[in-house]
Structure 1
Amino acid sequence: MRILRTVNSYSGLILAVLCSLTATPMAKGSPWSISATYQVKPGQKAKLTLHANQALTKVEIRLKGPKSESMTSFSVMKQDSKRTLSFRAPIGRTNWMASVKANIGSETVTSTFKFEIVSVGPLQIQLDKRGVKLDKGLITVRSNTPLEKADLVAFNIQSDQILNDLVALNQSTGSVDIRFDSLDPKNVRRLELKIYDHVGRWRAFRLVAWYVEIPHDDVIFESGQAKIELQEAKKLSAVVSLIQTEIKAFRTTLGRSDVNFDLKLFVAGCTDTVGSEQDNLLLSRKRAKAIARYFRSKGIDSPIFFEGYGEKMQAVSTGDNVDEARNRRAIYILTNTQPSGLESPGRRWRPL
């Protein structure tokens, strides 16, 4: 899907995942401390652990949840000993309270410990670039758990913030539409998306659009030939430098210096109308392939595709058998979508 003219398409990247919820046990120096598991998988038992910092007698632990209440007692707990209670928690986020009463010598001491348990499976949120429609103010994701809200921040090509929106998702699951004020795709470079589920976990995506037509001086080939002469290779060396600069800028915008993701280089070859249409088609394809090979030999590590268009992509419209230098050209596009304006029946991009 083409998103904008100067920077196009999307690469979704999960940046971070929320860690388990935590709570603070009783202060150091107390006769006991309590800890609990705060995140469990469905069907897995949660645990509450009582640690005796002093010798205790007549210990009672009352555990109260949203739909259950229980009491467990121990006659004696030695200093530095532990007792663990296992119990089942309902699916979702639930609040619990543990009340502890015990004797320390002749003195009776009580305390209350409130905590929260999250019982959920792994969070899975899928984002496909085909589900991103900026001009309609719509991003569609798929989730295996109810989603609560989405935080969107968008930046233009000048890195100015052009959108900052918090969207309520009403605990939707399955295919979920995130709707926001529509954006002009030609004015968007980066979109930060953070999606929260109903228990507070989140996934974050950075969506980067990239589409650049590389400016260059065209290589001049000998008539009917596809070999790149030494003096013409200097023109391509300048293009290699521009491509590498764009790849670096893409990585910087995406926030990763070690990957290209699906950034691709497309090389299209075109001819004038001298000669037969079929011969020109084959010749333009050979020339595009020669240029693509040169780029690969000079260290361009992005996937490279090439195709010949023969007489079909004239920069200057002419009749048949016209020697027009402006039509003997190549087009170099760096993008992570299909190149715009180069769709043609019967043409298919060939991987190098």
Structure 2
Amino acid sequence: MALAIRVKKEKAEEVRKLLLKLNLIDPTHLPSSNDDFIFFPIKKSIDEKTKQDIAKKFDANFVEKRMKRKLIQKFSLPHFDMIGDIVIFEIPKEFKDKEETEKIKAAREIAENILKQHKNVRLVAMKTGGVSGPYRIRKFEVILSRGDNSTITIHKEHGCRFKIDVAKAYYSPRLSYERRRINSLVNDGETVFVPFAGVGPFAIIIAKSHPKSTVYANELNPDAYKYLEENIKLNKLSNVIPIPGDARDLAEKYSNKADRVIMPLPMSSDQFLDVAFSLAKKNCIVHFYYFTNSISAAEDVVKEAAKRFNRKIEILESRLVRDYSPEIIEVVVDFKILD
């Protein structure tokens, strides 16, 4: 049996707020109700004077009542990426060094809770390593699904749809804000280049919002490039030009064509700043994404590259995109090429 306060429904919200303020609600049980009353579970440590004051003020009664226990998780759900109907999570730190059987047991519990709480999720996978290789592939292990283990999904973002196989191509929903931010900066009619375009999120969102613009989307990974082409059709666009292969090949063919260059390859975009300088018209704006330990360090990389390639630049804005690890952050530096 649990201690509860019985209060008329019309006074329930006022009582609830007071109980929360006084930290008197028992977190191990759930409230209940009948036709006329709400029953809030109360901590048995409440003193008699407080009980009397609340009962008098709200015409309430304290009773012993059988109440449902609240299910308390052994650990909270970790942060996860939701891509379409697929979730990829990272095992909490407290389980990383455990034996494999204990780690898998924890992973299954997390996956079960995700499926229980998110009815639109079909498959749950656990991250087993970082994004790696020239094709930027995620490493993960499927833990649970609702019967369909396919890693292909459709992800919706900013009015666009993206088909992707998360086992073969990289997509980060965490960059959704950045894609919206950059999209808002583009002027219709610009010529935009997106090397490292992946399955096309930056390119397609910009092209759909700016029908007079031409967006060149380059991708090295053949699987990602296949989905880039599919996504252009899926979103019924004619102003995205897909280009397969190495971003370095853009420099000569498209020299002095870009009003804007977007470089979403934070692990090695510094190695391609020469390509951005080559693509750029006068006053071209570049969005440079980079893994580093500080914003100023990312700005220094851009300034040193400009000096090395004898170009004049103006840094417009630098901002933290996200924490990547305890020591590393992802930064974006927006800069204009003045000559």
State the TM-score, normalized to the length of structure 1: 0.25
Q: Which has the higher helix share?
A: 2
TM-score, length-scaled by structure 2: 0.26
Structure with larger RCO (C-alpha < 8 A, sep 6+): 1
Higher Rg of the two aligned structures: 1
